Amino acid sequence: MAANRATVIALTALAPVSWGTTYAVTTEFLPPDRPLFTGLVRALPAGLLLLALARVLPRGVWWGKATVLGALNIGAFFPLLFLSAYRLPGGMAAVVGSVGPLCVVGLSALLLGQRPTARNVVTGAVAACGVSLVVLKAAGALDPLGVSAALASTVAMSAGTVLTKRWGRPEGVGPLALTGWQLTAGGLLIAPVALLVEGAPPAVDAPALGGYLYLAVANTALAYWLWFRGIGRLTATQVTFLGPLSPLTAAVVGWAALGEALAPMQLAGMALAFGATVAGQAAHRPRAGAAAPASAVAQGPAVPPQPRSRDRSMSATVARGSSTSMTRRS
C-alpha cells in the first residue's frame, strides 16, 4: 500500500516538473509577444486529443460543471496569470501563486468540511517562503491591478481543485475524459480573448512548431492526465503541495540549460520549498483502513520565473497546464 501510494505521488509530481520546463521552451523556441495564443495552443488541441481518446462527452449537469471547472483551471487562470506577470516586478507573481496550498486548505474547510491543521498551515507558509527566496528579486512598485490578478488566479485554480473534489466524477468516467472536458472548455474560453487581444496567429517556423507540439502533447495532455489521475487517489491539499516543484524545476532548468546562476539564498529557498513539498505528503499519510479519497481536479502550474527584458512578454505563458506557471529570477 505504501509503495503504491509513493508511486502515485511520484507520477503526479511529474506534472508540475513538466510545467517547470515551460519557461525555457517558451523563451527559446516560440514567437514573442503571444502568451495568450500559446496558452490557447496548449489547452485546446490537448483537450480535443483527450476527448478523441476518451470518446466520452459530458451529460446532464456535467456540461455546466465541466465548463465551470475548465474556466477556473484554464480559461480564467491563464489570462489572470498573464496580466499579473506583465504588471508585477520580478518574482512577485510566483510568490503570490505559491500561497495556493494555503488557499486550498481554507477552501477545503469551507466546502469539504476538512478541518485545517497547524501542520498544513505551517507547511504551506514554509513552501511560500522557499519559493520567495528562489524567485523574488529586486523590488519595484507593486501594481494593485497586478496583485489583484495574481490573487484571483490563485483563488481560481484553488477553487477548481476543491470544487472537483466536492463534485467527484460521473460514474464510469475516468480522468482522461475529465481532463479533456476541462482543457477543451478552457481553450474555447481563451480563444476569443486571444483573437481580440493579439490578433491573427503568428508565423510558425520549425523550432516553434516543435515547441508548440511539446507544450500541447507532453506538457499539457500527458501532464494534466497524470495530474488528474493522481488527484483521484490523493487529497486536494496533498496534491497542491506538489505545486512548488514547478518553479523549482524552472530554476534548475535555467541553471542547467540557460546558464543562469543560483545564489546561496536561492539554494536555501529550494531546500525549504522541496522540504515543504515532502512534508505536505507525509502530513496526509492515510490511516490504516481509511477510505480512498474521491476524485478531484488540481490547480495549474506555478508561475515560472520572469525572463530577460527581451523575452518578458513570453513570461506570461503557462506552464500548469501552468504547473503547473512567468516571473523572473536572476
Query: According to the model, what pLDDT value does residue 315 have?
Result: 38
8-17, 80-89, 114-123: least confidently modelled range: 80-89
Buried b (16+ CB within 10 A) or exposed e, 185-207: bbbbbbbebbeeebeeeeeeeee
pLDDT at 60: 93
Quickly state the pLDDT bin for 141 (edges 50, 70, 90): low
pLDDT tens digits, residue range 11-53? 999 998 998 888 788 878 988 878 889 889 999 999 999 999 9
167-218 pLDDT per residue, tens: 888 888 999 999 999 999 999 999 999 999 999 999 999 999 999 999 999 9
Give the DSSP H/E element, type plus range, for residue 157.
helix 144-167
Among the listed residues 175, 289, 163, 156, the one whose alpha carbon sits nearest the alpha carbon of residue 231: 175
pLDDT at 224 > cutoff 50: yes
pLDDT score of 277 more than 80:
yes
| Predicted confidence band of residue 92 (pLDDT cuts 50, 70, 90) | low
Rounded-to-integer distance, Cα 37 and Cα 19, Å: 17
Quote the DSSP letter at residue 61: T
Query: Which tens digit of pLDDT belongs to each residue from 65-76?
Result: 999 999 998 888
Confidence bin at 307 (pLDDT 50/70/90) = very low
Question: What is the radius of gyration, based on Cα positions, of the chain?
Answer: 18
What average pLDDT does range 106-135 have in this prediction?
84
pLDDT at 285: 54
- Looking at residue 151, what is its pLDDT? 86
Give the list of residues 6+ apart from residue 23 with CB closer than 8 angstroms, or none.
250, 253, 254, 304, 305, 307, 315, 317, 319, 326
Residue 131 confidence (pLDDT): 83
pLDDT for res 324: 40
Which one has a higher pLDDT value, 197 or 112?
Answer: 197
Query: What's the predicted TM-score (pTM) here?
Result: 0.78
pLDDT band, very low/low/confident/very high, at 89 (cuts 50, 70, 90): low
Return the pLDDT at 77.
84
DSSP 296: -
